Chains A and B, each alone.
Chain A
Amino acid sequence: MAQLYVYDGSFEGFLTSIFHAYPMNPEQVDFCQEEQYCCSFFQPVMVNTEIQLAERVSNGIRRTLTEDSLTTVYHAWLSHLEGIEPAIFRFLKRSFAEGRCLCGFRQDPEVFPVMKAAYAVGGEAHRILGLLRFTKIGRLYVADIRPTYDLLPIIGPHFLDRFHSQPFLIRDPRHYMQALAYNGKQVSIGKFESFKELDQQPEEAEALWQAYYKAIAISERKNPKLRRQFMPKKYWEFLTEMQDQPEAHKNGFEKAIRTQQKIKLEQDQFFPPSTTFLEKA
């Protein structure tokens, strides 16, 4: 009989629910975001996000464990993989019980899934930093991405360093229709209602970039396999220099979804399937 904690979908909400769930046996706890929750047979705990409690948990992780553990937990949580929340909970309870950071204990079946998820998110965030292409619309620079994981919260600082006073907007239609907006002073993450593709009017800068991409290519050095490793086809959709190959990135995206389903299946071997009562019924 697992106790379900329903939180608002924010990381602070997740930490608050960890605070409330902490006395429980980790095998009997599950978490769910409000948006995905519809009903369950037993009474779930509806968690009110309380910043103070969330801070108590994050400071506890920082002090008793390490700063690294907190980053790992945050990144792993951002993966939103199925079953990752209870996995993080087990990982944290275990770490606190031992009173030390367990990030190095990769051979352990309770540690590995969390480390793996965190690594995947961090890796994609690093990659996407090089693959964002901004288009200027009026005064605003807009970039679209459709990454595998929810990366907006962690890629913000990088672009803040580069765009000091120019306002920009990064849209991610794949993860809750989120967008990261910067108005020249403040950054915020919000949701947008509908996603309309940007008008692909060949702008001068875009044409210049495409011409540049073609001109610096050295035909003797073409190595398509290596290029695919650095910029997989699933990201080509929004890459300015790849707009002349619409078919290729369509295939790439479909294939990425297929592989992701496969990864999900593999992940099921690492995580015991999450037992929301809805599924059981």
Chain B
Amino acid sequence: MELMIRTLSLLRKQYRFLGYIHAKIIPSSSPELIEQIGLLADRVSVNMEFTSKKSLALLAEEKNHQKILAPMGIVRATKEENEYALAHYRGAPVFAPAGQTTQVIVGATPERDNHILTAASKLYQDYKMKRVYYSAYIPLATHPNLPAPLGFVPPLLREHRLYQADWLLRFYRFSVNEILPAQQPDLALDVDPKIHYALAHPELYPVDANRASYDMLLRIPGIGIKSAQRIIEARKFGSLDEFSLKKMGVVMKRAQYFLCFRGKVLGKMDPSNPMLRQVLQDGTLIQQTRLF
């Protein structure tokens, strides 16, 4: 840790490098060192690796949750203090302007998706994480506690679905329970989690594009943050039809089944129709899984 700080201060002060630096904090570092490194780096991170205590004990003996969570808490507290200082004093030094992140490994241990996502949402709430990274396990070494490398397929599609669910948590105002209800421990692989949610709740649709709340617009497959905001803005000027929605950037290929304009639905299938799931499947991703 001290060596890292020396390297970074050489870079920043002697060579005056002003670009982006991401520094990894070593678990159970002291608050003073964490503060020093945060003043030099743009982003800091402590890797969580595994969300369950059991897996962590099996595969990363030197780490335990206490050692990992403590520095995360220090980063959060220091950053909050620093935000106060920046707001009140000119010339206050900036602590980790790009915040903190962490990483979890997916597929090396038996954790289910609901476990991982619950942990992630806690990290977002309790430690103000900017991002949680999910990395599909790719075998490099053999170890009795790891899956055998021969014939192991890295769960890249699962990783992708976890990222999609992560976005739903952070930007689409979903809760873990809505993405994964109690009886469903893993994310569906054939469709993305938002389509899965929409198909599981046909009673919510179709949604009137001219009246729906921001939260409800976000729950329409094919409408993202940007297009939802544009719809809210555009409604101040006049009513919308399907052509104006295209101009907002809405993907009508998916949205048509879940939207209506003055009671009229465009899609030819009802959201409760079991065939719709196949229509909405993501062709490219299924190919990708076959490749590996």
- Report how many residues on chain B are interfacial, defined by Cβ distance under 8 Å: 21
A-B contact count (CB 8 A): 44
Known contacts A107-B238, A161-B18, A221 near B156 by CB under 8 Å: yes
- Residues in B whose Cβ lies below 8 Å from that of A107: 234, 237-238, 240-241, 243-244, 247-248
- Residues in A whose Cβ lies below 8 Å from that of B248: 106-107
Q: A164 on the interface (CB 8 Å rule)?
A: yes
Q: Are the CB atoms of B16 and A164 closer together than 8 Å?
A: yes
Q: A108 on the interface (CB 8 Å rule)?
A: yes
With most chain B CB atoms within 10 A of its CB, the pick from A102, A105, A161, A164 is: A105
Q: A225 on the interface (CB 8 Å rule)?
A: yes
The B interface, classified by DSSP as helix, strand, loop or mixed, is loop
- Residues in A whose Cβ lies below 8 Å from that of B244: 106-107
- Residues in A whose Cβ lies below 8 Å from that of B288: 223
- Residues in B whose Cβ lies below 8 Å from that of A218: 138
Q: Are the CB atoms of B16 and A165 closer together than 8 Å?
A: yes
- Separation of A30 and B117 alpha carbons in the complex (Å): 56
- Separation of A108 and B284 alpha carbons in the complex (Å): 35
Q: A204 on the interface (CB 8 Å rule)?
A: no
Contact with A along B222-243 (1 / 0, CB 8 A): 0000000010011011101101
Q: Are the CB atoms of A105 and B234 closer together than 8 Å?
A: yes
Known contacts A104-B237, A106-B230, A223-B288, A112 near B247 by CB under 8 Å: yes
Q: Are the CB atoms of A220 and B18 closer together than 8 Å?
A: no
Closest to A98 in B: B237
With most chain A CB atoms within 10 A of its CB, the pick from B230, B241, B292 is: B230
- Residues in B whose Cβ lies below 8 Å from that of A105: 234, 237-238
Closest to A102 in B: B237
- Separation of A101 and B292 alpha carbons in the complex (Å): 51
Task: Given contacts A107-B244, A161-B18, A220-B292, list 5 more A-B pairs with CB under 8 A.
Answer: A104-B233, A105-B237, A107-B237, A107-B243, A218-B138
A residues sitting closer than 8 Å to B (CB atoms) are 102-108, 112, 161-165, 218, 220-221, 223, 225
Q: List 6 A-B contacts (CB under 8 A).
A: A103-B233, A104-B236, A107-B247, A161-B18, A218-B138, A220-B138
